[in-house]
Structure 1
Amino acid sequence: MIGAQQSIAWGIFLQTLRRPCMNQYCNAFVRISALKKMYCTSTDTTEEGIVGAVKSTHIPVMTKEVIERLNPVNGNIYVDMTFGAGGHTKEILKKAPRAKIFALDRDLVAYEMAKEMSEEGPYDITPLHGKFTDLPALFRDLGVKENSIDGFIFDVGASSMQFDTANRGFSLSHNGPLDMRMNAQDPVTAADAVNYLEFKDLKKIISRYGEEKLAEKIATSIIEARQIMGKIETTKQLADIIDTVFPKHNLDKLDRHAHVATKTFQALRIFVNDELNELYNGLEVAQYYLKPMGHCAVITFHSLEDRLVKLHFKGIAVDEERHKSTRDWAKNNPLEFDAEEIKHLTQKRWKNIDGPISPSEMEVSFNPRSRSAKLRAASKP
């Protein structure tokens, strides 16, 4: 039973779960839903499909560095916000086998893996299915209170399981349906985006979320291709369309040929899964539930994510044009505040900020997918 004071605090917390400066494309979802009449996905969400996908190998990134910053202790409570194949959870339990783990993931495949691990024992693992923004409701049902968690780990972006399963539609190296949903129950796919969005929306999404310089040409090619050929339904179809825009191929950080469609695929994936808003709100959730001196570790794989985490940890408002800190905003705001409100607005929300930390050369050589990873960590005051 939640008392009146707790209910007020809960209401204030829920109001902080806002969508920052990335929300200008939310109307695109509405347009897609209105235009979409019949779309059948071939993503296999049956038990057999899930079990098959589980066989993919996923190597967790920077486990040593994460464990050093979380410093797991027996009896403490930790939340793995991106359970995936359970790599970071396993490392926490190696260090503290009697710790309690809440294992969250929006992907049904990962959720099934968390259930398997919890049933096998002997560890105390509670599987949770949902997005970062679903966690407050899930925790409320479980009776988890504010200031009760010792550590959070985020390993954001798509997992190796998702990239390696062709029918998930994430990969450029495996042809499959153009899907890209982390939760196969979500309504909008990448195919919906490329087939129903207007030119201006496609251009903005590819430019903003993919940081792609040729966004305008790519968007034009997509519009022309769907007018001539009809629906774009597979990853190969989209990759081939984008390939026509580029005069030559790029090299990645390991001097390997990088597909020219990589940034566009990233942009569509971020849009379909609302990843940046989810990450921002996930950090808000972590800050609310962490105990004082609790730790938060976040692994990101591209600059948009890393920048958002950096700004959040430093108390800089991501929706301010000039990225003013909350302290600066409160000092310069023309409204009047009493002393207690000013104290609340200007106090730091994170301390012991660490990073960015990159994987070692040895780790990159062993696991090339780790090459873009950045780790940032902080503690709650």
Structure 2
Amino acid sequence: MALRSWCMKKAFSYSCLFTIRRHLFSVLPIQKPSKTQTCCHVKTVSGKLNLQITGHNGICSDSDVHHISDNSDEDLSYSPRSVEDSSEEIKHVPVMVKKVLEVLNPQQGQLFIDMTFGAGGHTKAILTENPEARVVCVDRDPLAFSYAQELAKSYKPGQVLTCLGKFSETPQILYQLGITPGSVDGILFDVGASSMQYDQSNRGFSLSRDSPLDMRMDQGRDPDSVTAMDVVNHLSVQELRDIIKKYGEDHIANQIAHAIVEARYVMGKITTTKQLAEVIENVFEEKILRDKLNRKSHVATRTFQALRIFVNNELNEINNGLEVAYHYLKPGGVCVGISFHSLEDRIFKRHFHGIEMDEAKNLSVKQKSRMMRDHHQKYDKELIKIILKKRWIPVSKKVTTPEEEEVLENPRSRSAKLRAAIKSADV
């Protein structure tokens, strides 16, 4: 079975949210561009500059590779935003760097994949720890991709490879780079929105900045993508409630959903982060929430989180990314996952501890065996072997969190959770 279809079978989603996503695409008047937008990967091969052009599904045939000169003025329908285009200073402090390096333990000539390059903090740390290591830098954000390209110029050709795409597009990207399954020594995930995305005023991620309700991590690279503005202005009360409840884990999701729909009728289309935040503030009636540092937390935080996860299909992407990681790691290779809330952490935990994604929480062995009897499954040798077979060996049974000193220096790390596992050699 092809890796792509295999990964899609492993994907999971709340069924109600899958239906909502499909419904949203059907009601939006999306206009596809006349030219297919593409993601571009530039590398040097045999002294020639090669431009690899791939579509949004990551598929790229041999005919898609073109030889161009350094002064080519070929017009591309899509080009990522460059570092120079960003007028805002990017302040990024990578989370739990010491622990990441301790687990990955980069050695000379080893190959690593940074699946969430962002501003490059973890990649730089790996290369500082071992200057002879090789890193593939992947990110779905065009601005992060441009930062990766800038970093690559500081190293010898082929040492830092830059890629633009989602986790689900990674297999085709790695194939184009000549990286085969079972050849990678370590893979790192640092999921969720990055500091870079929160700090840009025009992206719609931050509550502290009034900006258009966008929240797309790929900045519109996919012409079929929807924005947070589309979600809050086109979905029903029930659909908004399901999104906020499932992805924001907010116990008053129903009241928030009703307030959003009522605000649409009163004030028209909700277009900015400030408008949406004010609507949600009215629901809470001056209730004060606190974060883990006992600082005042905005009441709309959970709703913004839910919209961001839904717009970018983040949980399914993480699930698919971990399937890809398992496929490409060597036996004994290490996968590290850093997450910032329970929904993300649950996916890493279930993968690394061998728990099925659709299995109920906290089932005992006795309960699992009873469920198997109820489904008339026989305890033959093959079934027992499958049950006992482990794909991952967790580095630690418990989750790792930042030390107090790091949280004080970098408050955004307060919610970070790190899990790591080694690919089993027995599978």
TM-score higher than 0.5 here? yes
Query: Cα gap change, 1:288/1:325 in structure 2, threshold over 3 Å: closer, same or farther?
Result: farther
Show the counterpart of 2:124.
90
Map of 1:188 onto structure 2: 226
Residue 369 of structure 1 corresponds to 412
- The reply on whether 1:303 has 2:342 as its aligned counterpart is yes
Q: Which of 133, 141, 144 is matched with 1:110 structurally? A: 144
Question: Residue 189 of structure 2 aligns with which residue?
Answer: 154
CA separation of 1:289 and 1:32: change in aligned 2, threshold 3 A: same
> Match for residue 179 of structure 1?
214
Superposition pairs of residues 329-348 of structure 1, within 5 angstroms: 334-335=376-377, 339=381, 343-344=385-386, 346-348=388-390
Relative to structure 2, which stretch is displaced further, 54-63 or 333-342?
333-342
**Worse-matched range after superposition: 49-58 or 169-178:** 49-58
Deviation for aligned residue 1:303:
1.1
Tell me the distance in 2 between the aligned counterparts of 1:101 and 1:262: 34
Report the CA distance shift for 1:245/1:164 in structure 2 as closer, same or farther (over 3 A): same
Residue 216 (structure 1) aligns with: 254
Residue 253 of structure 1 deviates from its aligned partner by 1.3
Structure in which a larger fraction of residues adopt helix: 1
Change (3 A) 1:114 1:55: same
The answer (yes or no) to whether the contact 2:88–2:200 under 8 Å persists in 1 is no
Once residues 372 and 332 of structure 2 are traced to their aligned partners in structure 1, the CA distance between those partners, rounded to angstroms, is 27
Q: 2:94 aligns with which of 50, 53, 60?
A: 60
Distance change >3 Å, CA 47–CA 313, structure 1 → 2: closer
- Structure 2 counterpart of 1:22, from 10, 14, 18: 14
Q: Is the 8 A contact 2:81 2:142 kept in 1?
A: no
Separation (CA, whole Å) in 1 of partners of 2:25 and 2:3: 30
Which residue in 1 is equivalent to 2:300?
261
SS of the equivalent of 1:357 reads: coil
Alignment of 1:246-325 (within 5 A): 246-247=284-285, 248-321=287-360
- The alpha carbon displacement at 1:312 in A equals 1.4
Code of the aligned partner of 2:136: F
Contact 1:300 1:374 (8 Å CA) reproduced? yes
Match for residue 5 of structure 1?
none
Q: Deviations over 1:238-258 (max 9, x none)?
A: 000000001212111111110
- CA distance in 2 between partners of 1:232 and 1:372 (Å): 30
2:337 match: secondary structure? strand
- Please give the per-residue CA displacement for 1:158-210, whole angstroms capped at 9, x wherever unaligned: 00110011110000001100000101124101011100111111001101111
Measured in 2, the distance between the counterparts of 1:199 and 1:48 equals: 39
User: Which letter maps to 1:218?
Assistant: I
Q: Would you say how many aligned residue pairs link Structure 1 and Structure 2?
A: 369
Query: Post-superposition shift, 1:304?
Result: 1.1
Taking structure 1 as reference, are residues 169 and 11 closer, same or farther at Cα in structure 2, changes over 3 Å only? closer
CA displacement at 1:55 relative to structure 2: 3.0
Cα distance between partner residues in 2 of 1:155 and 1:177: 26
CA distance in 2, matches of 1:17, 1:72: 33
Residues 11 and 298 (structure 1), Cα distance of their counterparts in 2 relative to 1, 3 Å cut: closer
Q: Are the aligned partners of 2:168 and 2:321 in contact in 1 as well (CA < 8 Å)?
A: yes
Q: What's the CA shift for 1:15?
A: 4.9
* Structure 1 residues 130-162: Cα deviation after superposition (integer angstroms, max 9, x where no partner): 111111111222232221110011100000110
2:23 paired with 1:35: no
The answer to whether the 8 Å contact 2:139/2:166 transfers is: yes
Q: 1:353 aligns with which of 395, 399, 402?
A: 395
SS of aligned partner of 2:399: strand
Is 1:236 the counterpart of 2:278? The answer is: no
Mean Cα displacement is larger for which, 103-112 or 133-142? 133-142
Give the AA of the match of 2:408. S
Deviations 1:274-308 (Å, cap 9, x if unpaired)? 11111111111111111111111111001111122
- Secondary structure of 2:355 counterpart: coil
Letter matched to residue 362 of structure 1? E
Larger Rg: 2
Partner Cα distance (1:279, 1:242) in 2: 28
1:92 alignment partner, SS class: helix
Question: In 1, distance between residues paired with 2:130 and 2:365?
Answer: 37
Structure 1 position 34, deviation (Å): 2.4
CA contact (8 A) 1:317 1:323 kept: no
Distance of 1:151 and 1:189 partners within structure 2: 33
Which string of whole-angstrom CA distances, capped at 9 and with x for unpartnered residues, describes residues 319-343 of structure 1? 1235669995796553569755653
CA contact (8 A) 1:29 1:188 kept: no
Residues 32, 12 of structure 1: alpha-carbon distance in 2 compared, 3 angstrom cutoff: closer
Identical aligned residues as a percent: 47
**Cα-Cα RMSD:** 2.6
Distance 2:153 2:252 in 1: 49
- Within the alignment, does 1:126 sit opposite 2:154 as a pair? no
Structure-2 change in CA distance of 1:341 and 1:176 (3 Å): same
Q: Is the 8 A contact 2:339 2:345 kept in 1?
A: yes
1:145 equivalent to 2:184? Answer no
Match for 1:266: what amino acid?
Q
Contact 1:17 1:284 in 2 (8 A): no
